[in-house]
Amino acid sequence: MTGPRRVHDMGGQDAGPIETEGHVNEPWEKRMDAIRMLCGQRELLRTDEMRRNIEDLGPGVYTELGYYERWCAAISNVLLQKKVISVDELGRKMAEVEERWTKARKS
């Protein structure tokens, strides 16, 4: 008897060639790292909670998002679950940031 293999549990699956070149992290990725550390220090987020929330993104989202995008999604979900932020608050803030970003790019 076997059960379903979840998408993140990919040991032994075909994965194509491994990229061995180093790469530079984007500023937002570094910020993501800092937010994660801060959440850890405030005892809002443990490594295992982070992993669980990344795994729970599910097949579509998990495979489409990049490494730090998964972090962003998982940390957001943990902070929502722990009532640090609300869905409404996060939605409004995202719209505000997007508007600011669009204006900045036009000018």
Partner 1 sequence: MSERFSVGDRVRVRRAYPPGHVRAPYFTRGKVGEVQAIAGSYRNPEQLAYGITDAERLPLYRVIFRQSDLWSDYEGGPKDTTVVDFYENWLDPA
* CA geometry: angle 73, 57, 53, nearest 5 deg: 70
87 binds partner 1, rule: CB under 8 A: no
Interacting residue with partner 1 among 31, 34, 38, 52 (CB under 8 A):
52
In 7-86, which ranges are continuous DSSP H helix?
27-41, 47-55, 58-64, 67-81
Site mask for partner 1 (CB under 8 A), range 32-51, x = bound: --------------xxxx-x
Q: Please state the φ and ψ torsions of residue 34, each to the nearest 5 degrees.
A: -65, -40
Nearest-approach distance from CB 82 to partner 1, in angstroms: 8
Side chain identity at 67, as an amino acid letter?
Answer: Y
Q: How many CA atoms lie within 13 A of 99 on its CB side?
A: 6
9 binds partner 1, rule: CB under 8 A: yes
Looking at the Cβ atoms of 46 and 100, the one nearer to partner 1 is 46
Instruction: Find tokens 């508007």 and name the residue.
Output: 99
Query: Which of these segments, 4-12, 27-35, 64-72, 92-100, binds partner 1 (CB under 8 A)?
Result: 4-12
Residues interacting with partner 1, by CB under 8 A? 1-6, 9, 11-12, 46-49, 51-52, 55, 82
